[in-house]
Amino acid sequence: MRIDIISVVPELLSGPFNSSIIKKAIDKKIIEIHIHNLRDYSTNNYRSIDDYQYGGGAGMVMLIEPIDNCIAELKKERDYDDIIYMTPDGDTLNQGISNKLSCMKNIIILCGHYKGIDQRIRDNIITMEISIGDFVLTGGELPAAILTDSIVRLLPGALGDETSALTDSFQDNLLSHPVYTRPREYKSWVVPEILFSGDQKKIEKWRMEKSLELTKKKRPDLL
């Protein structure tokens, strides 16, 4: 899989992709991540990528030409399954979206900035708009990193145990069951005895019951 990320401040993305699971997935050639500086596609000597909005008002708007130029150059080299714009008013990211995108071959992620992008880009080029929640950040770089992480961990070979992602919260619309490790007892806090029974069917039944219990308590909207 290949992910191309278009950013006004690409240096913000260097950290998240240079360690842990994503770095290992890149090294194993499971994923290609390419970050593009939008200013490289500016149409003037000042490398500007924003301007005042028509009709007045506070806040700058990202220009059409640099975005269109960058995406057009990328599309000359390969086909893309989706061109995604990270924006607070997009569809809220959930596990289902990440699952779907992990099956794609090539995607572009455009990081919003300032007041947003010219609406004509959204109307004519963007194929999917994603938000990470009902709040506003200074740019779309951190949301793009979150989206990328949620996709990469689902790719075959990215995690040490490929079944691990299948038991995460929100798979099957349930929160994950409680998990425990050594020591068996700590400060009189003990691990449930069922987990030492050796009866995998009983353990899985207990885990399912706990998942349902937690989901009803914390996220009843998922049921």
CATH number at residue 104: 3.40.1280.10
- CB of 62 within 8 A of CB of 49? yes
Same domain as 199, residue 131: no
Q: Is the dihedral of CA 15, 27, 159, 157 positive or negative?
A: positive
143 prior amide bond cis, ω within 30: no
CA distance 85 to 41: 18
pTM over the 0.85 mark:
yes
| Interval 169-223: pLDDT, tens | 677 888 889 999 999 999 999 999 999 999 999 999 999 999 999 999 999 999 9
Rounded to the nearest integer, the mean pLDDT of the chain is 94
| Interval 53-104: pLDDT, tens | 999 999 999 999 999 999 999 999 999 999 999 999 999 999 999 999 999 9
Domain holding 41, by residue range, is 2-152
Q: Is 164 helix (H, G, I), strand (E, B) or coil?
A: coil
Amino acid 160: pLDDT? 74
Whether the predicted pLDDT of 149 surpasses 70: yes
Whether the predicted pLDDT of 163 surpasses 70: no
161 belongs to a structural domain:
no
CA distance 134 to 23: 29
Output the furthest CA–CA distance in the chain (Å, rounded). 70
Strand partners, 36: 6
Same domain as 136, residue 208: no
Region 147-162 average pLDDT: 90
Amino acid 123: pLDDT? 97
Q: How many helices (H) and strands (E) does the chain have?
A: 6, 9
Amino acid 162: pLDDT? 60
CA distance 97 to 99: 5
Same domain as 193, residue 108: no
CA-to-CA dists, residue 23 to 12, 27, 141, 167, angstroms: 16, 6, 17, 23
In this structure, what CATH number is given to the domain that contains residue 214?
A: 1.10.1270.20
* Side-chain-side CA neighbours of residue 212 (13 Å): 6
Amino acid 169: pLDDT? 65
CA distance 6 to 36: 5
Whether the predicted pLDDT of 166 surpasses 80: no
Amino acid 165: pLDDT? 72
DSSP 93: P
| Interval 89-146: pLDDT, tens | 999 999 999 999 999 999 999 999 999 999 999 999 999 999 999 999 999 999 999 9
Same domain as 64, residue 22: yes
Into how many domains does the chain fold?
A: 2
Q: Is 24 helix (H, G, I), strand (E, B) or coil?
A: helix
Same domain as 180, residue 96: no
Strand partners, 104: none
Same domain as 147, residue 175: no
Same domain as 136, residue 48: yes
Amino acid 173: pLDDT? 86
| Interval 9-44: pLDDT, tens | 999 998 899 989 999 999 999 999 999 999 999 999
160 belongs to a structural domain:
no
| Phi (first) and psi of residue 69, to 5 degrees | -60, -45
CA-to-CA dists, residue 108 to 127, 154, 215, 218, angstroms: 10, 18, 33, 34
